[in-house]
Amino acid sequence: MQPAEPRQPEDAHFAPIAEIFGLRGGVNSEIRYVRSPLGTLTVEARYGAKKGGFPHAEAVRWSDDIAAYHDELARRGVPLPPLERMVIEHDRATERAVIVKTSPWTGHDVSHLLEHTPVGGDPDAVARLVRQICAILVPICAERHVGWETEVGIDPRCSNFTVDADARMWFVDLFPPRFRKNGIPIVEWPHPQSDEGFRLGVFKHFDVRGIALTTIAQLSRILPLQKAAFENDVIAGLAAALRPEERTELADGLARSPWHRVRTALAAGNTAEVAAIIAGAPTEPVFGAPYGVYALREIALELAAAGRLTRQALEDFFRASHYEDALPKERLEGLIRQLQAAT
């Protein structure tokens, strides 16, 4: 017997107030698009939702830090969507809280544009997006704390930049709020417990060289065949934040990196040398310090650019190599073997 169709109430006094659409978020946050009956689109970022939220007092502190980071970026001219509201949803049954930030819709993110629209197949359009990303990064990279370290941090992954209908680019990622609180950089949530995790977090988000490498890698993750072009375009795009000797040092450091040597060995057909470079890459200094699993990610990008890894295999490798503090030795060795098998 089929169940009966639900009946509309004779006196229907209920009406939809909004449509809510989920979108992939980061490792910490859920992202929701909310469309009102008038067609207005807003974006809700639910910080902490993917990890069970925060204790209420911690959520209050983080919301203050998010507002402070927003102001730090805005003072440096970073284009940010207006912060319409930020509230803390506190579940008294579980004593956990989620921070909900609401902003207007500012277009699709760059990763979507490169993956799912004709933009990704248009070299001029891709180059234009890279220039726009770099223009946002320049004021961050130009203001230094000391040496190569920036005063304020940033995560330059493609999904953190959106492009609106007027082709204006926005930066939309405020969590974790990467600024120096009481002189100490906030690099991740939860805060890394290992020295390696903290050092790499500072390098990737508070160091001009690390910001450049992260930008190149995240673009190449989507379009691996263009990795060499992205290196040139990003260094050129950040030139306004670099002294001439810094630009030379950045280019020379890339040329000496293990993944550049893999590129050369692949072109020469020397698979034995590629395997040897892969084995030592996590501990080999890059700009003076080991780059860990991120060196393996760079090599995975080189293998994909050379046709040795499929796009799906590359994405699987990035997901398998994700970690938040210290990567267990067994996992690291498994990742090394995985890349060596692809040579």
Could you read off the pLDDT of 161-191 as tens digits, one per residue? 999 999 999 999 999 999 999 999 999 999 9
Query: What is the reported pLDDT for 6?
Result: 45
Q: Report d(CA 124, CA 102) in Å as an integer.
A: 33
Please tell me the number of Cα atoms within 13 Å of 5 on its side-chain side: 3
In sequence order, the 6+-apart residues with CB closer than 8 A to the CB of 89 are 97, 98, 99, 100
Per-residue model confidence as pLDDT tens digits over 282-339:
999 999 999 999 999 999 999 999 999 999 999 999 999 988 777 889 999 999 999 9
| Least confident segment among 7-21, 32-46, 160-174 | 7-21
SS3 259: helix
Among 256, 277, 294, the domain-final residue is: 256
Q: Domain holding 156: CATH number?
A: 1.10.510
Task: Give the Cα separation of 26 and 326 in Å (integer).
Answer: 19
Residue 327's pLDDT is what?
85
**pLDDT band at residue 64 using 50, 70 and 90 as cut-offs:** very high
As a whole-number percent, the residues of the chain with pLDDT over 70 amount to 92
Which among 256, 273, 307 is the end of a domain?
Answer: 256
Q: Tell me which residue has tokens 């994700």.
A: 322
Cβ atoms within 10 Å of 36's Cβ, excluding its own: 12
Range(s) of the domain holding residue 242: 21-256
Q: In the chain, what is the straight-line distance between the N-terminal and C-terminal CA atoms, in Å?
A: 59
- Model confidence at 27, pLDDT cuts 50, 70, 90, reads confident
Whole-number pLDDT of residue 14: 63
Task: Specify the amino acid at residue 189.
Answer: W
Please tell me whether residues 215 and 271 are part of one structural domain.
Answer: no
User: What is the C-alpha separation between 139 and 134, in angstroms, rounded?
Assistant: 9
In this prediction, residue 3 has a pLDDT band, given cuts at 50, 70 and 90, of very low
Task: Indicate if 32 and 174 belong to the same structural domain.
Answer: yes
Q: Is the pLDDT of residue 23 over 90?
A: no
pLDDT on residue 313: 98
Distance of CA 118 to the CA centre of its chain: 22
**Dist. CA 184–CA 202, nearest whole Å:** 10
Alpha-carbon distance of 170 to 212, in angstroms, equals: 18
- pTM for this predicted structure: 0.92
Instruction: Annotate 177-209 with three-state secondary structure.
Output: CCCEECCEECCCCCCCCCHHHHHHHHHHHHEHH
| Residue where a domain terminates, one of 227, 256, 285 | 256
What is the mean predicted confidence (pLDDT) over 4-24?
Answer: 58
| pLDDT at position 325 | 73
In whole angstroms, give the CA distance from residue 166 to residue 158. 19
